[in-house]
Amino acid sequence: MNIRLTETVTKGGCAAKLPAGQLRKILGQLALKNPPELIVGTETLDDACLWDLGNGQLLIQTLDFFTPIVDDPKDFGRIAAANALSDVFAMGGAPKTAMTILAFPAQQLDLGLLEPLMTGAVEKIIEAGACLAGGHSIDDDTLKLGFSVSGFVKKEKAWKNSGAQAGDVLILTKALGTGTITSAIKNKKSKTDWEEAAIHSMCQLNRVPELVSDFSIHAATDITGFGLLGHALQLAQASGRQIEFQSEALPVILGARDCLEGKILNRAHRTNWDYVEKHVQVDCKEEWKKWLTVDPQTSGGLLLSVSASDASEILKRVRTQFSKAAIVGGVKNETPSGKRVVLI
């Protein structure tokens, strides 16, 4: 059975997320219980929850799943696992167990696809230092794959999205543009070298904490479906600060500019812009860069807020594994304009 996986779905990867604005409104209306052991829950829309084990360690829990973003099943498995594992790294921790979440259209697709799909996923789980410990599967109309991941971090080493300080420098570990390129893949408008660059980026694990373990990371978040501006907005709101991005400094995946200038957009580009629009001041004149900053990333990089004195050494460390890492902006105190994020 020769079927392109991206042809079996209408939207793929983190671009399939529900609109951020509507989701935030609904979550804000829930009557949630917040026991003292729950250090991080839903309030700041952080990447994972943190639970105090009472022994100096915090338990990190997260889950993520989505529909196919590429056609090769092994690559899809790799990307799905790397994306789910990323939330643990974004909290400064180390993943230990992963549980599979699988919906498989048995009437449409050959069950034999499960072998390369899960082989790719297990490859990344093992590379992350974790193990596949179980899971759950159902027969569904659309292929979906993801993982519930648990990990641990020392209490004093935990990263949150709420600690950015005025004067901090912002480091982004991966280039932007997977959303538009994967839309081009689906629409048969991509080039082979664009696909290879995007897949390589999405498969790379965000094993950043081990590279910078001797530095203080004031705040961190991973850049996924809500785009750079969406996740930066959440970090700015959680920290009570303003973020300023230098558009010329943003790293761009090969082919992403071509795709964005060619108006290869998906629904998430527009819902992400709707989410951030009233909170963002855009002084950049190039329209494609505006769309780049709301491009829905799948298995995107980490955004780190660090002291200016540490920034150059942290960037040097990160670049040993992430060649596209760059200083992309800084953190300021709130301004009278009320805009949380500025793109210049």
Instruction: For residue 88, give both structure tokens.
Output: 């643990």
Instruction: For residue 328, give both structure tokens.
Output: 């992309």
Residue 235 and residue 305 share a domain: yes
Residue 45 and residue 99 share a domain: yes
Last residue of a domain, one of 127, 157, 187: 157
The pLDDT assigned to 314 comes to: 98
Query: Percent of the chain at pLDDT above 70?
Result: 95
Last residue of a domain, one of 157, 187, 207: 157
The pLDDT assigned to 151 comes to: 98
Within 10 angstroms of residue 313's Cβ, the number of other Cβ atoms is 13
Residue 78 and residue 23 share a domain: yes
Provide the domain limits for residue 78: 5-157
32-91 pLDDT tens trace: 788 999 999 988 888 999 999 999 999 999 999 999 999 999 999 999 999 999 999 999
Instruction: For residue 143, give both structure tokens.
Output: 């292929």
69: domain CATH number? 3.30.1330.10
- Summarize the confidence of residues 196-225 as an average pLDDT: 97
- Judged by average pLDDT, the poorest of 13-17, 148-152, 278-282 is 13-17
Question: Residue 164 domain-assigned?
Answer: no
Higher pLDDT, 137 or 13: 137
Residue 79 Cα to chain centre, angstroms: 11
In this prediction, residue 27 has a pLDDT band, given cuts at 50, 70 and 90, of: confident
Question: Residue 163 domain-assigned?
Answer: no
How far, in Å, CA of 78 to CA of 74, rounded? 6
Domain count for the chain: 2
Residue 173 and residue 152 share a domain: no
Residues annotated as catalytic are: 14
- CB-based contact 155:58 (threshold 8 Å): yes
